[in-house]
Amino acid sequence: MRVGIIGAGIAGLVAAYSFQREGHDVSVYERRAEPNVEGAGLTLFGNAFAALDAIGLGERIRGIANNSLPWLRTGQRTPDGTWLTSMPQETIGQLYSVHRIKLHETLLGSLAPGTVRTGMEAAVTADGSPCVALAATTETYDLVIVADGLHSRNRQRLGLDTGIDYSGYTAWRGVTSKPVNIAGAAAETWGQGKIFGFVPLPDNKLYWFGTRNLPAETSFDDEYQAVKDSFTNWHDPIPECIAATEPHDVMRHDVYDLHKPLSTFTRGRTVLIGDAAHAMLPNLGQGAGQGIEDAVTLAILLNQTRPYDIDHALARYSRLRRPRTTRLWRQSRLMAQVAQASNPLAVRLRNFGMRLTPPQLIGSLTQQLHRWYPPEV
Ligand SMILES: Cc1cc2nc3c(=O)[nH]c(=O)nc-3n(C[C@H](O)[C@H](O)[C@H](O)COP(=O)(O)OP(=O)(O)OC[C@H]3O[C@@H](n4cnc5c(N)ncnc54)[C@H](O)[C@@H]3O)c2cc1C
């Protein structure tokens, strides 16, 4: 089968690997000159690794990731350092953190040379026929996979777009370049309309993020100073994390998700995966994980449907993936409302509720999210 993929993000690259390992002829079109030019860290839970294991990539990704969280105290804290809740060890046993650039490099390095063609803006046809329009030519495939992310123009071309919504908060992200003493803990700290979190990466580095409720497209003259000012006087080692990061290694993005879940992920022989299909807020750390699940599900359904009944497999893909990703899209929004609460009374109630909630309950709810099994074929 000839497979054309638009977008060399995590979802597109995992899809490329999943199809290529089964002997399909795969081309990936990426509009950037370099597919992995920026990125901080990423956390991947057990569900992402179950999917990666299903295509034989799990060990390779574990090999570039850090899995020290189970040995640290994790959970939620207040800005003065008081613990609101501690996560049970079994909840985070399968949680790995990885540098995004390293992940991209590893995924790219797993593909046959020449699979990814960079600097190529690609467009689908509105009726979903499996063609990819490039600047000077049109390529025809048996299947086109759209993995062009949150701002997907191809989702619009296919008439599937529901629009995107600003979450109300912006996020700085960074990776430290000097050692920071985390004193055996790696938590998320929830303040009023702000969150700060960090996790260890390989090579003694930390990936951290800091969020703050702000109008969309707010700009600062000095981003580094802005993030420092946003978390001054927060408990150790939060100011140290920022100070241990080179200013040019700090990035900021306003955070968006889909306005509404899509009614289908397919149009003709064209199929959406990753953020293009179900962009969700990052508050459950599941965006990339869901893109990985999509890519692997699609490949398993198509690889094992013989003779290739592509239409049937695509319909099944959409039926399988929409309920799970819709649930996570909704739960991520809910979690964002709770975590980014800024009204002082709402914050007091939230913190009170969290202190009362048994950690085992939080643990069993999150563990349900982190389970994934390959589709039966
Ligand atoms: C602050 C923050 C923290 C996050 N943390 C986590 C986390 O810890 N764990 C997690 O699982 N997820 C996390 N996410 C979500 C995660 O980053 C995304 O879900 C994931 O990166 C989406 O991958 P993707 O491949 O679908 O899309 P993208 O990574 O957006 O890739 C799309 C690619 O398509 C290319 N492209 C676009 N249009 C075209 C075109 N027309 N032609 C050719 N190429 C095109 C783009 O250049 C890009 O390379 C976080 C998100 C944010 C904002």
Counting ligand 1 atoms within 8 A of each CB, the residue from 148, 262, 270, 271 with the most, and so the one to mutate, is: 148
Q: Give the pLDDT band (50/70/90) at residue 365.
A: confident
Q: Give the pLDDT band (50/70/90) at residue 261.
A: very high
**Residue 305 pLDDT > 70, yes or no?**
no
**Residue 377 pLDDT > 90, yes or no?**
no
Between 287-303 and 46-54, two packed helices, what is the crossing angle to 10 degrees? Answer: 30
Q: If you average pLDDT over residues 118-127, what whole number do you get?
A: 96
Q: So what's the pLDDT on residue 306?
A: 62
CA dist 295 and 358 (Å) reads 35
Q: If you average pLDDT over residues 113-135, what whole number do you get?
A: 95
Q: So what's the pLDDT on residue 323?
A: 97
Q: If you average pLDDT over residues 246-258, what whole number do you get?
A: 97
Task: Give the residue among 87, 119, 165 at the shortest CA–CA distance from 333.
Answer: 165
291 lines ligand 1 (CB under 6 A): yes
CA dist 209 and 176 (Å) reads 11
Q: What is the mean pLDDT of the chain?
A: 95
Q: Which atom of ligand 1 is nearest to the CA of 279?
A: 19
Tokens found for residue 353 = 């509720």
Fold of the domain built from segment(s) 2-369: FAD/NAD(P)-binding domain (3.50.50)
Q: If you average pLDDT over residues 335-362, what whole number do you get?
A: 94
**Residue 155 pLDDT > 70, yes or no?**
yes
Query: Would you list the DSSP string of 60-86?
Result: HHHTTSB--GGGSB-EEE-TTS-EEEE
31 Cα–ligand 1 center, Å: 13
Q: Which atom of ligand 1 is nearest to the CA of 35?
A: 49
Q: So what's the pLDDT on residue 131?
A: 92
257 lines ligand 1 (CB under 6 A): no
Q: Give the pLDDT band (50/70/90) at residue 39.
A: confident
Q: So what's the pLDDT on residue 37?
A: 67
- 50-79 pLDDT, tens digit each: 999 999 999 999 999 999 888 899 999 999
Q: Give the pLDDT band (50/70/90) at residue 348.
A: very high
88 lines ligand 1 (CB under 6 A): no
41 lines ligand 1 (CB under 6 A): no
Query: Would you list the DSSP string of 96-109?
Result: EEEEHHHHHHHHHH
8 lines ligand 1 (CB under 6 A): yes
39 lines ligand 1 (CB under 6 A): no
- 4-22 pLDDT, tens digit each: 999 999 999 999 999 999 9
No. of helices (H) and no. of strands (E), the chain: 13, 17
Q: Is the dihedral of CA 334, 340, 342, 346 positive or negative?
A: positive
Determine what percent of the chain is predicted with pLDDT higher than 70. 98
Query: Would you list the DSSP string of 350-367?
Result: HHHHHHHS-HHHHHHHHH
Q: If you average pLDDT over residues 19-48, what whole number do you get?
A: 92
Between vectors from CA 177 to CA 172 and to CA 180, what angle results, nearest 5°?
90
288 lines ligand 1 (CB under 6 A): yes
**Residue 368 pLDDT > 90, yes or no?**
no
85 Cα–ligand 1 center, Å: 30
Nearest protein Cα to ligand 1, atom 3: 282
Is the distance from CB of 145 to CB of 301 less than 8 angstroms?
Answer: no
Query: Would you list the DSSP string of 19-35?
Result: HHTTT-EEEEE-SSSST
- Any idea which residue has 């613990």 for tokens? 83
Amino acid code (one letter) for 39: G
